[in-house]
């Protein structure tokens, strides 16, 4: 999902740079082409229907062209795995629960809870969400008190933890690694302590951890 998001970013950036340099070049050209060089006024252009049609149509086409892949990507990110996948065990469900001020990770199928109680802030170690590489991870995000925000930058996807509501997103890690994350919604005095780690390991290592 992060790769698809990044690819969309790159296309959007490329189009933006083309538009930026095109508009800038047009301004520079007009400034020199129509500058005053004598006592008489330069040629005055009050309208051009063809040009106005083009510079209205082209942005509309660009926006439509960007909207379609953006909509498809967001729809995919917002659509949880099918019930058949969940029932087959091909999807690992993890509940990410935001508290003031720490994250708890609950693995309902495995009966595992990571950091269910407040940590010792004097020797604070961020809780770790351990996941297997190559498996779809469905994260159910909620809060027990105020609004928090669950975000690991490598995922390129941020989701709010809202009291009384469960938000879901899914992802798959392709290679082992350790990825840092934190709460991105200011939530009180120890907001800066709401850090966590996503540890992606090989399936065999995950089974040993379980």
Tell me if the bond preceding 20 is cis, omega within 30° of 0. Answer: no
Q: Read off the pLDDT of each residue in 183-190 and give the average, rounded to a whole number.
A: 94
Predicted confidence at residue 39, as pLDDT, reads: 85
Residue 8 has pLDDT above 80, yes or no: yes
Residue 44 has pLDDT above 80, yes or no: no
Question: Is 184 in a helix, a strand, or coil?
Answer: coil
Predicted confidence at residue 179, as pLDDT, reads: 95
* Longest CA pairwise span in the chain (Å): 86
Percentage of the chain modeled with pLDDT above 70: 100
Helices (H), the chain: 2-33, 49-78, 83-88, 203-209
Count of Cβ atoms closer than 10 Å to residue 36 Cβ: 8
């Amino acid at each position: 999902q992060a790769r698809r998001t990044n690819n969309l970013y790159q296309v959007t950036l490329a189009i933006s740079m083309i538009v930026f340099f095109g508009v800038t070049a047009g301004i520079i050209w007009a400034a020199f082409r129509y500058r005053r060089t004598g006592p008489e006024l330069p040629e005055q252009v009050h309208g051009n229907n063809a040009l106005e049609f083009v510079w209205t149509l082209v942005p509309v086409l660009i926006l439509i062209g960007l909207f379609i892949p953006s909509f498809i990507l967001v729809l995919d990110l917002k659509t949880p795995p099918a019930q058949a996948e969940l029932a087959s065990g091909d999807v690992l469900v993890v509940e990410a629960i935001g508290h003031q001020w720490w994250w708890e990770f609950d693995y309902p199928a495995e009966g595992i809870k990571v950091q269910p109680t407040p940590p010792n802030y004097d020797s604070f170690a961020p809780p770790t969400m351990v996941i297997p590489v190559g498996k779809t991870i469905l994260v159910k995000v909620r809060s027990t008190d105020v609004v928090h925000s669950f975000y690991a930058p490598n995922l390129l996807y941020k989701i709010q933890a809202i009291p009384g509501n469960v938000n879901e997103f899914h992802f798959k890690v392709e290679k082992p690694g350790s990825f840092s994350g934190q709460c991105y919604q200011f939530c009180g005095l120890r907001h800066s302590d709401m850090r966590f780690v996503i540890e992606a390991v090989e399936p065999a290592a995950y089974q040993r951890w379980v």
